[in-house]
Structure 1
């Protein structure tokens, strides 16, 4: 496909995302975020074998759907690079940084209505004991809101590692179902999911991040493997954001913002979106968290 290849709209609409991609997004400019609108993004890296399984080697499509919408991690890296608590409110290590005590939020529910607790951390960690958490010697429940983690050797960066988007938290009693249907604690509940093609998430009615994040009513992700097609979708206002690493397919840059910057772009977004004063650069699309941090302009 050439750089100026045209989008096959019938093929795009076959993903089931037609209604969302045609939805209007024109709203008045505002200085502060408010709850409304739909984020529509065209991303690559999707596969027909995709599941909400953090052990899979996911592309950007599933990374944004999982870490940026449906699930939470224990800590998160803010846009300024500092570490903040997400499902964990505090962490404390011993003098050798080898034994850590994690304190958890007490106001978090999974999308199936079950309350998030310490046992969910243990079960979620166990999924990665041979990979990401191979240096973990022991994980134990101290009580419903505290977890003890002992490492084979000290690591002062352990709390930072907990922000890895693969270390999402699952409900311990039904992990298989959560991986199949996408049951997390994130701001968006799965409404429709077609592996390798399409994701639609709806904002949770009541969430512990209310008033701080999660400004879109819905989040729509469409998988498009061609960068030229993603660029055309953005140019023609079929999407609000597109994963791109080159401006060649955009031609006219009016009304388009390049992120994180022109010389190291990973995405292009319509100026119909409002962005925070600072966006994270650790991963694409504001540390994968565009769905929770951005809003409609």
Structure 2
């Protein structure tokens, strides 16, 4: 028995205001080394009309990618190979009992509103989680403008890993309400357009501290497509570069598509025109939500 594919109105598919087809990348190398330029579009599930940049609210995949993958940053991050490394924290030190942690902060990170990052931003951002994700934090102290000390009520050797989570983004102190409303972070992409539950467009920040290391696209666009079949067709027909997906049945010719992290345990599918890090961890979907930072158009 043949399977009938859904008849999808492509004009309605991107009625959110996004262009109907991907803009061609220009000035990019055909090799495997990342070169900055072009546009990257992802179709994602998990968006709702209640979406926003408030890290205290439950976030679906769409907003997690927009926040941690584009607009905001955390003290630590999971690298593409699954290892922990610093992001807004340059280094950290734990006591022998894993209760006291000291973090040295970057001095070259700047929020999209022009405010340089300092210790007060971390204190203010963590304070909003005092009764939730960071309820085990007993005390946070400012040791200098770019050094903080955190004391836990109980030992936790995994505390630096916890700080890489999507809800642990850092907001600008004194402007948290505006940052949650407008999307103001220190990330590689500034919020250009945001329609809750429908679309996010981010424009690459000039002179970012990650220049020549990450953030190879000039523009990143996320569109919400709740149905698996619709996301698969959007990828197959070149409307988007990547989608979250757990099966390949609707994708058609797989020779044009990479399944990540592997075919038998996939969380997303990517067109092979997109360059990927040599090593991608298997614990998180969408390369730990940071596809916009780490991938490029080859």
TM-score range, shorter chain: over 0.9
Deviations 1:26-71 (A, max 9, x none): 8552121110111110000001110011111111111000000000
1:229 aligns with 2:250: no
Distance 2:55 2:85 in 1: 21
Partner of 1:4: 5
Q: CA deviation at 1:22?
A: 3.5
Partner of 1:97: 98
Distance 1:160 1:114 in 2: 26
Q: Could you say which structure has the higher helix fraction?
A: 1
Distance 2:235 2:29 in 1: 20
1:293 aligns with 2:294: yes
SS of 2:286's partner is helix
Distance 2:6 2:249 in 1: 12
Structure 1 residues without counterparts, runs of 5 or longer: none
Partner of 2:149: 148
Distance 1:3 1:146 in 2: 60
Partner of 1:270: 271
Q: CA deviation at 1:95?
A: 1.9
Distance 1:201 1:154, change over 3 A: same
Q: CA deviation at 1:80?
A: 2.2
Partner of 1:71: 72
Distance 1:18 1:233 in 2: 13
SS of 1:41's partner is strand
Conservation of the 8 A alpha-carbon contact between 1:7 and 1:233: no
Distance 2:121 2:29 in 1: 42
TM-score, normalised to structure 2's length?
0.96
Distance 1:150 1:289 in 2: 29
Partner of 1:40: 41
Distance 1:28 1:115, change over 3 A: closer
Distance 1:295 1:80 in 2: 17
SS of 1:120's partner is helix
Conservation of the 8 A alpha-carbon contact between 2:22 and 2:41: no
TM-score, normalised to structure 1's length?
0.96
Distance 1:201 1:3, change over 3 A: farther
SS of 2:140's partner is strand
Q: CA deviation at 1:166?
A: 1.1
Distance 1:153 1:3, change over 3 A: farther
Conservation of the 8 A alpha-carbon contact between 1:3 and 1:228: no
Deviations 1:69-94 (A, max 9, x none): 00000001112222100000111122
Deviations 1:80-130 (A, max 9, x none): 222100000111122211111111000110000001100000111011111
Distance 2:282 2:186 in 1: 24
Conservation of the 8 A alpha-carbon contact between 2:47 and 2:63: yes
1:186 aligns with 2:175: no
Give the length in aligned residue pairs. Answer: 295
Deviations 1:112-152 (A, max 9, x none): 00011000001110111112111101112111101111100
Q: CA deviation at 1:8?
A: 2.1
1:22 aligns with 2:22: yes
Q: CA deviation at 1:224?
A: 0.3
Q: CA deviation at 1:24?
A: 2.4
Q: CA deviation at 1:25?
A: 4.0
How do 1:118-267 and structure 2 match up within 5 A? Answer: 118-267=119-268
Distance 1:64 1:202 in 2: 15
SS of 1:17's partner is coil
RMSD: 1.4
Distance 1:31 1:180, change over 3 A: same
SS of 1:269's partner is strand
